[in-house]
Structure 1
């Protein structure tokens, strides 16, 4: 079931550029130089769950073991890439927040065997890279992380999460009540990442009062959700995707070429729950 309360019509706008606003050749050259400088500073950080602790992350042979540490080491405003080998990476707790914290402009790719030299060589279908909330006793979901990935970057960004399985978030507190916001992925207000080639599976919000099992939009966002599978997620509303009804700022993600399988909502929106004037664009799903 898809619960959509707003029109999914993309509206085009014409733009007039005054002559005084035309960029000069000198300014254009400076912009190009700055861009080239950023590209030159970009790095690849390697992560492997089987690596020895203390690696620098500068190669597969010296890969970092800790994914969050690799994220923290990336250039805040740069275009670094993080290549993550297959395996299971367990979501941490940072302060009072659960989950891997994505707070900088970085492109994070999963699906590597651990010997690739080119991004095109990865195989995220067979080299499964899992971000898991199943900490504590294996199989006991009540002690799982409430959120696996938390996107908090609030600037126009180059942030990408690509080629991961995100699973086993449990958005219920010790007394059995709902936790807000919680989901496999929580996208904070003003965050607009690209999430592509991912599997968001087996995440659970509270079956009646909780919202957003797989993906929770907590505020304004123009995120791109592409080529992603939502499977076996559950919540009271928006089992796969929930656009926060308590935040009336426009949420307008593009959800394209995604699949929704066996997502179950206790009240409404087995696939997507949308309220107010939010304007998700859903195509080819």
Structure 2
């Protein structure tokens, strides 16, 4: 797809559906002759939930903070339902999702403003999720055994009203994240264990070379056992990591710097 801004349609329930055996690539200027010539940084290709066309954006059409979302927006900008790793999304900015509308067409409209995955394991590469909003999982919501693979992905300035400012993993959803950054993601009302970066509930993702910085709390684990290798928690408000409900994370070369609360805390509680 060529550089530009693309919206699903004019109704909040409309979404970009990923499909098996279909790879979608962004970052083209329109003059390339082979895939390798594209440049997704120089040629930003934006999937936006701004269906009214009235959000406040940067020159590329990207909402840089959720307070600039105005009026009606797509509840889930991108959706995966019962898809495998053969569904590929590569080289896009996903922005301006506004998940807050309850349940419709089989999907939780309050979950995953940027992307909603159910029973799905898409391959996600060279993506930026910025300025997305939802009740839970501001940028991404993975549920019911969804195991997406994320490589070279950034989550910046997304917000959830309750939990998982950037990502919420639920019900045995175990994504793999490699070279991923979580920055300036927030949760409303700020609870230290609400997972401004990531909230895991009965889910155990694998993280390799991941950074959580300047989020309102880094990661919360509830009945979850994530595996972290070469992960940095830096300057997050509250705790870097909170573990409840018998969560047992595996940590290798994990570092905590400059948290305003404790680096990691394990609590005897059912949920936080």
What TM-score comes out, normalization by structure 1 length? Answer: 0.62
8 Å CA contact 2:73, 2:98 repeated in 1 = yes
Pairing partner for 1:172 from 96, 100, 108 = 100
Pairing partner for 1:186 from 89, 92, 116 = 116
| Aligned: 1:230 with 2:155 | yes
Name the residue aligned to 2:178: 256
Q: Give the deviation of 1:98 after TM superposition.
A: 2.8
Larger Rg: 1
Q: Over the residues paired in the alignment, what is the CA RMSD in angstroms? A: 2.0
Name the residue aligned to 1:143: 72
> How do 1:1-285 residues align onto structure 2 when only pairs under 5 Å count?
84-92=1-9, 97-139=13-55, 141-154=70-83, 156-173=84-101, 179-189=109-119, 191-205=120-134, 210-235=135-160, 236-244=162-170, 247=171, 250-266=172-188, 267=191, 268-276=194-202, 278-285=203-210
Q: Give the deviation of 1:171 after TM superposition.
A: 1.4
Greater percentage in strand: 2
Q: Give the deviation of 1:93 after TM superposition.
A: 6.5
2:95 and 2:53 map into 1 onto residues whose CA distance is 16
Task: Report Cα offsets for 1:239-264 as digits up to 9, x if no partner.
Answer: 111012xx3xx211101101111000
Q: Give the deviation of 1:92 after TM superposition.
A: 2.8
8 Å CA contact 2:76, 2:109 repeated in 1 = no
Task: Report Cα offsets for 1:130-188 as digits up to 9, x if no partner.
Answer: 0000111512523111110001243x4411100000000011249xxx94333201111
8 Å CA contact 1:85, 1:113 repeated in 2 = yes
1:179 and 1:148 map into 2 onto residues whose CA distance is 10
Unpaired runs of 5+ in structure 1?
1-83
2:122 and 2:53 map into 1 onto residues whose CA distance is 32
8 Å CA contact 1:167, 1:201 repeated in 2 = yes
1:171 and 1:144 map into 2 onto residues whose CA distance is 8
Greater percentage in helix: 1
2:145 and 2:100 map into 1 onto residues whose CA distance is 25
1:225 and 1:216 map into 2 onto residues whose CA distance is 13
Unpaired runs of 5+ in structure 2?
56-68, 103-107, 211-272
